[in-house]
Amino acid sequence: MKFKRAFAKVSEENEIGVSSSKKPCLNIDSANESKKPCFLHNFNLCTEKGDHNTSIDPNLLERKFDVNFLDKFSDRSNVNDVLCHIHHNSLSNFKREISQHVECVICKKSSSKRFISIIKENVDIFTKYLRLELQHDTDLDTTAKLYCCSLCYKNFNAFCRSDAGEDLKYQTSQYMCEHVHKFKFDESVSQDNLDLYTSEQINDIVLESFLKEEPLLLPNIYEQFKQYLLVNIAKFQYVISEN
């Protein structure tokens, strides 16, 4: 009888020990609900939950998201809070852009939300726009990337579409390139037009030399034409008479 009681007591203790060691499962939904909202909810700009703990610089926040920090907070001290994934990436990218000291070549502004790079094809008309339209005397390094803030680029774009912009475009290498490339050779190559096909290849060389401001001597161009013609004869396996 004593043995049965002892066995029952041990069994009861084991059951209690097992049950007490069990841990309740975490409720994932409740964990998500307990997340703090994105810091930008203070300015009615976001309704998502925060994913990234970070130190928020009020100056960067104002410049990036066009908010007034003092509308919601008493001073401009950095705030340790959370941002959602999208706004965290957006602010991080903006911070990296600012750290590169990008500056508008027209107004010298470096605090714009967005800078636009002048593409290679527009550099010529852009420099003429600065010099002739804006009376901009500063020499620019056109081999480096040129940036404009969004407002100055908008004004430049509007000028390019104006009559004055069209007149200025006629003086640029861009205009010349566009018109030269309008006459691209688009026929099937034959013995009758092999010389025209070769001439177009030479046109590209002449145009490139002109843009680089390299000397162009007619005897040199003629020699290049003959060399290209011989290459094309061999390429297309044509026989050209001496005449």
Q: What are 28-42's pLDDT values in tens digits?
A: 444 555 689 999 999
- C-alpha–C-alpha distance, residues 12 and 185, integer Å: 96
| Lowest model confidence (mean pLDDT) among 43-47, 84-88, 139-143 | 139-143
Q: What is the 3-state secondary structure (H, E, C) of the chain?
A: CHHHHHHHHHHHHHHHHHHHHCCCCCCHHHHHHCCCECHHHHHCCCCCECCEEEEECHHHHHHHHCCCHHHCCCCCCCEEEEECHHHHHHHHHHHHHHHCCCCCCCCCCCCCCCEEECCHHHHHHHHHHHHHHCCCCCCCCCCCCCEEEHHHHHHHHHHHHCHHHHHHHCCCHHHHHHHHHHHCCCCCCCCCCHHHHHHHHHHHHHHHHHHCCCCCCHHHHHHHHHHHHHHHHHHHCCCCCCC
Flag whether pLDDT at 167 surpasses 90.
no
Q: From its phi and psi, is residue 151 left (phi > 0), alpha (psi between -120 and 50) or beta? A: alpha
Query: Would the pTM of this model clear 0.85, i.e. be above it?
Result: no
pLDDT digits (tens, 9 = 90+) for 1-23: 545 555 555 455 555 444 444 44
pLDDT of residue 28: 45
The residue behind tokens 């009888």 is 1
Mean pLDDT of 223-229: 88
pLDDT digits (tens, 9 = 90+) for 51-65: 999 999 887 888 888
Whether residue 194 contacts residue 233, with contact meaning beta carbons closer than 8 Å, is answered with yes
Q: Which residues pair with 92 in a beta bridge?
A: none
Nearest in space to 105 (alpha carbons), one of 88, 129, 132: 129
Neighbours of 69 (CB within 10 A): 19
The average confidence (pLDDT) of the chain is 78
Q: Name which residue leads in pLDDT, 86 or 119.
A: 86
- C-alpha–C-alpha distance, residues 81 and 75, integer Å: 15
What is the residue extent of each domain of the chain?
33-99, 115-171, 184-236
Mean pLDDT of 94-104: 74
pLDDT digits (tens, 9 = 90+) for 138-165: 677 777 788 888 889 999 999 988 988 8
The residue behind tokens 């940036």 is 147
pLDDT of residue 44: 92
Q: Distances in Å between the alpha carbon of 193 and those of 81, 221, 235, 240?
A: 72, 19, 14, 12
Q: Name which residue leads in pLDDT, 204 or 79.
A: 79
